[in-house]
């Protein structure tokens, strides 16, 4: 039985698919500190293996899956595309996030204080489905007389940045451990189009057969890093990477976290991550549109005394009423703040393990609990609720099994493990066991793993 | 330790193997986008006094107006449009019949398309007409840069009376079928 559980644990570790939130409040790995700076640590120091200490990848989409678009059946691709277009709504989204921990080290300052610092690179992208404008582009406006197309559905944000961080985890009392992490963001690329408003419509009219209207249009696309100081588009990957090392637009962030033991068996952990911003002042290029316009057509006046160029008049009138401009103004971009919280009740066989400075920590072999995970996103927060069961197979092998309900699905079953192989700590997890069988029908694909040297 | 690592590597591989994306076909991704764009075009309202010369006290039998027509100045439209449809709605509250002639010209005032004339009888309040142009059959239409609309009163014993408010109302749209 124990071998079977070990086998499962190793599958999970090697599966390369999990979500980082699986690692929250789990396993006493060094990377837990990146998810909760107030997590308890029981080691003297740690050294992340460069580029491998923490790697995560997450691709998710709501409203449809790959099978809806690319199923190998007799239907034309066009039919499948139209089926997807019919299924999605404007709050569905595509979300992509990957993090590579380049450097991560930590050491114990004293019995109560653990310091850690490092550098990671992050690529994060989310775009909601602007269904109105996809349909307008795909079908045109002719089939949609008297329908309103909303610009507010256009909402997206993409970031590529490097993050330098330094954190402290401090034991305040036997019950409470708190922590904080300061971050310096170095943004290489930022593209965002947020808080757009206004509508486009083609309606029946008394003046002409139809009338086209732009009502209270207010839209913007803000970018930094895609053009250089000469307003030329940057096409060198090296330049994009080099700007993540303090060469880009800089920002400041803060993580906060705590661990609180109500009793020796009941634990509460919580963290707020990426409370921060980036000030984009270098290499910015922004596009704005603002105004109202009503088009009835070319109003022929048959005035022989003053011939008019009606088309030119319409174009000029449009330019006067709908202001479009490109600017290089600085702007501030907020990081997507994450909120994590977990309650855990430990039970079962009670063991103790040696920790730093010849102290011992007592722990239970089993635990159950639930956790909340929330990311602030442009249109609405992405919320997950996870219930979990943890089991330690030995002092060196810990496993966690989860059930998660979120935007992607209500049947996400996951598992994670952390292993201690000598001084090498390995962790990983799989957050969608059912999705492994056929990724094409899953709404999310994710994995997370890491290798660290830990000195007890 | 070695056993653990071997198992780890084995199951990394195993997981990739058991993860499958069967039944997906990326070879036949061929999406033609065929939007149909419709836009208001020319409209006007003419009263009887638009056809009356108050200086000479005589009828003006025909009036004409012209505008640029820049739909096909855009190469994106020019390259992708395969059909243009013009719809017309005309309301005639005059006691006279009249004729409407619509002609498109290129930048050098050469005719690129003449829409067949419409004759609207007196008091016809719901005259509708449509003209469809297949670009393959009339590629020269893509060189159109101007449009002229003539309104011609047909001869009649009933005279125009500028003191009576009666109108002609003309409306039109252009619908452009694209294949992108």
Q: Kindly tell me the burial class for residue A362, based on how many C-beta atoms sit within 10 Å of its own C-beta (0-12, 13-18, 19 or more).
A: exposed
Tens digit of each residue's pLDDT (9 = 90 or more) over A353-393: 655 555 556 678 899 999 999 999 998 899 999 999 999 88
Report CB contact under 8 Å: B7, A210.
Answer: no
Q: Where are the domains of chain A?
A: 2-409+424-455
Number of neighbouring beta carbons within 10 Å of residue A144: 17
Please tell me if residue B15 touches chain A, with a CB cutoff of 8 Å: yes
Cα A219–Cα A223–Cα A229 angle in degrees, nearest 5: 135
Q: What pLDDT is attached to residue B106? A: 96
> Is pLDDT at A17 greater than 50 in this prediction?
no
The residue assigned the tokens 């709908």 is A322
Report CB contact under 8 Å: B21, A438.
Answer: yes
> Is pLDDT at A11 greater than 70 in this prediction?
no
Which residue from A10, A136, A438 is facing B8, i.e. has the nearest CB? A10
CB A443 within 8 A of CB A62: yes
Chain B contacts in chain A segment 94-153 (CB below 8 A): 136-143
What average pLDDT does the segment A295-300 reach? Answer: 97
Q: What pLDDT is attached to residue B124? A: 97
Q: What pLDDT is attached to residue A83? A: 94
Cα A372–Cα A375–Cα A380 angle in degrees, nearest 5: 110
- Taking the alpha carbons at both ends of chain B, their separation in whole angstroms is 60
Q: What pLDDT is attached to residue A123? A: 97
Share of chain B above pLDDT 90, in %: 77
Report CB contact under 8 Å: A212, B149.
Answer: no
Which residue from B18, B24, B29 is facing A71, i.e. has the nearest CB? B24
Report CB contact under 8 Å: B8, A205.
Answer: no
Q: With H, G, I as helix, E, B as strand and everything else as coil, classify residue A193.
A: strand
d(Cα A240, Cα A242) in Å, to the nearest integer?
6
Q: With H, G, I as helix, E, B as strand and everything else as coil, classify residue B56.
A: coil
Stated pTM of the model: 0.84
Banded model confidence at residue B1, pLDDT cuts 50, 70, 90: very low
Please tell me if residue A13 touches chain B, with a CB cutoff of 8 Å: yes
Tens digit of each residue's pLDDT (9 = 90 or more) over A34-61: 999 999 988 899 999 999 998 888 888 9
* Cα within 13 Å of Cα(A421), Cβ side: 20
Angle (deg, nearest 10), helices A2-14 and B2-18: 60
Chain B contact probe: residue of A68, A73, A297 with most B CBs at under 10 A: A297
Strand partners, A110: A113
Which residue from A10, A72, A297 is facing B42, i.e. has the nearest CB? A297
Q: Kindly tell me the burial class for residue A155, based on how many C-beta atoms sit within 10 Å of its own C-beta (0-12, 13-18, 19 or more).
A: buried
Strand partners, A399: A391, A417
Q: Name the range with the highest mean pLDDT among A15-19, A115-119, A233-237, B160-164.
A: A115-119
Tens digit of each residue's pLDDT (9 = 90 or more) over A86-106: 999 999 999 999 999 999 999
Please tell me if residue A14 touches chain B, with a CB cutoff of 8 Å: yes
d(Cα A22, Cα A404) in Å, to the nearest integer?
10
Q: With H, G, I as helix, E, B as strand and everything else as coil, classify residue A313.
A: helix
> Is pLDDT at B18 greater than 60 in this prediction?
no
> Is pLDDT at A15 greater than 90 in this prediction?
no
What average pLDDT does the segment A117-136 reach? Answer: 97
Distance of CA A153 to the CA centre of its chain: 19
Q: What pLDDT is attached to residue A121? A: 97
Tens digit of each residue's pLDDT (9 = 90 or more) over A390-440: 998 888 888 889 999 988 888 888 888 888 888 999 988 878 878 777 777
Which chain A residues are within 8 Å of B173, Cβ to Cβ? 208-210, 297
Q: What pLDDT is attached to residue A216? A: 97
Q: What pLDDT is attached to residue A356? A: 55
Chain A contact probe: residue of B29, B171, B175, B178 with most A CBs at under 10 A: B171
Picking from A99, A106, A147, A97, the residue whose alpha carbon sits closest to that of residue A125 is A97
Which chain A residues are within 8 Å of B87, Cβ to Cβ? 209
Banded model confidence at residue A30, pLDDT cuts 50, 70, 90: confident
What average pLDDT does the segment A212-232 reach? Answer: 94
Alpha-carbon separation of residue A150 from A129, A219, A438, B176 (angstroms): 12, 11, 36, 23
Q: Give the chain A residue whose CA is nearest to the CA of B175.
A: A142
Tens digit of each residue's pLDDT (9 = 90 or more) over B145-156: 999 999 999 999
CB B38 within 8 A of CB B151: no
Q: What pLDDT is attached to residue A434? A: 80
Chain B contact probe: residue of A209, A296, A394, A450 with most B CBs at under 10 A: A209
d(Cα B111, Cα B147) in Å, to the nearest integer?
10
Q: What pLDDT is attached to residue B146? A: 96
């Amino acid at each position: 039985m124990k071998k079977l559980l070990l086998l499962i644990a190793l599958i999970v570790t090697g599966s390369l698919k999990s979500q980082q939130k699986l690692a929250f409040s789990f396993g006493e790995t060094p990377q837990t500190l990146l998810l909760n700076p107030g997590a308890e640590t029981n080691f003297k120091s740690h050294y992340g293996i460069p580029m491998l200490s923490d790697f995560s990848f997450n691709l998710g989409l709501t409203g449809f899956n790959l099978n809806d678009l690319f199923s190998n059946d007799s239907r034309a691709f066009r039919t499948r595309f139209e089926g997807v277009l019919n299924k999605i709504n404007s709050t569905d989204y595509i979300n992509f996030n990957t993090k590579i921990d380049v450097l991560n080290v930590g050491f114990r300052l004293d019995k109560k204080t653990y310091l850690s610092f490092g550098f990671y690179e992050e690529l994060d992208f989310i775009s909601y489905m602007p269904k109105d404008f996809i349909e307008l582009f795909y079908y045109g406006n002719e089939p949609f007389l008297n329908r309103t197309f909303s610009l507010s559905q256009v909402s997206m944000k993409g970031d590529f940045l490097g993050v330098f961080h330094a954190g402290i985890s401090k034991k305040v009392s036997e019950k409470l451990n708190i922590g904080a992490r300061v971050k310096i963001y170095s943004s290489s690329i930022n593209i965002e189009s947020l808080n757009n408003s206004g509508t486009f419509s083609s309606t029946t009219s008394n003046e002409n057969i139809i009338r086209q209207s732009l009502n209270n249009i207010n839209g913007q696309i803000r970018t930094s890093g895609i053009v250089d100081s000469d307003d030329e588009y940057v096409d060198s990957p090296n330049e994009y990477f080099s700007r993540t090392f303090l060469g880009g637009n800089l920002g400041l962030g803060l993580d906060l976290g705590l661990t609180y033991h109500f009793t020796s068996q009941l634990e509460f952990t919580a963290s707020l991550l990426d409370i921060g911003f980036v000030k984009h002042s270098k290499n910015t290029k922004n596009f704005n549109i603002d105004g109202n316009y009503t088009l009835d057509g070319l109003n022929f006046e048959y005035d022989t005394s003053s011939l008019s160029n009606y088309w030119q008049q319409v174009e000029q009138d449009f330019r006067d009423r709908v202001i479009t401009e490109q600017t290089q103004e600085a702007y501030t971009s907020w990081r997507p703040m994450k909120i994590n919280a977990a309650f855990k009740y430990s039970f079962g066989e009670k063991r103790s393990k040696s920790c730093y400075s010849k102290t011992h920590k007592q722990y239970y072999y089993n635990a159950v609990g639930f956790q909340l995970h929330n990311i602030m996103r442009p249109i609405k927060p992405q919320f997950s609720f996870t219930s979990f069961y943890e089991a330690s197979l030995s002092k060196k092998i810990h496993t966690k099994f989860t059930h998660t309900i979120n935007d992607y699905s209500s049947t996400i079953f996951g598992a994670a493990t952390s292993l201690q192989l000598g001084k090498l700590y390995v962790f990983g997890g799989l957050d969608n066991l059912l999705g492994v069988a056929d990724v094409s029908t899953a709404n999310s694909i994710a994995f997370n793993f890491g290798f660290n040297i830990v000195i007890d | 330790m070695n056993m653990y690592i071997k198992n780890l590597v084995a199951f990394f591989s195993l997981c990739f193997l058991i993860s499958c994306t069967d039944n997906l076909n990326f070879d036949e991704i061929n999406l033609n986008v065929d939007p149909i764009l419709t836009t208001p075009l020319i409209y006007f309202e003419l009263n009887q006094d638009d056809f009356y010369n108050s200086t000479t006290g005589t009828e003006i039998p025909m009036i004409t107006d012209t505008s640029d027509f820049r739909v096909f100045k855009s190469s994106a439209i020019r390259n992708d449009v395969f059909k243009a449809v013009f719809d017309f709605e005309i309301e005639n509250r005059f006691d006279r019949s009249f004729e409407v002639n619509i002609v498109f010209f290129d930048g050098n005032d050469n005719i690129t398309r003449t829409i067949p004339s419409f004759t609207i009888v007196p008091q016809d309040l719901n005259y509708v007409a449509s003209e469809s142009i297949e670009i393959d059959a009339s590629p020269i239409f893509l060189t159109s840069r101007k449009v002229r609309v003539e309104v011609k009163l047909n001869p009649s014993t009933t005279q125009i009376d500028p003191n009576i408010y009666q109108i002609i109302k003309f409306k039109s749209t252009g619908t452009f079928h694209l294949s992108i």
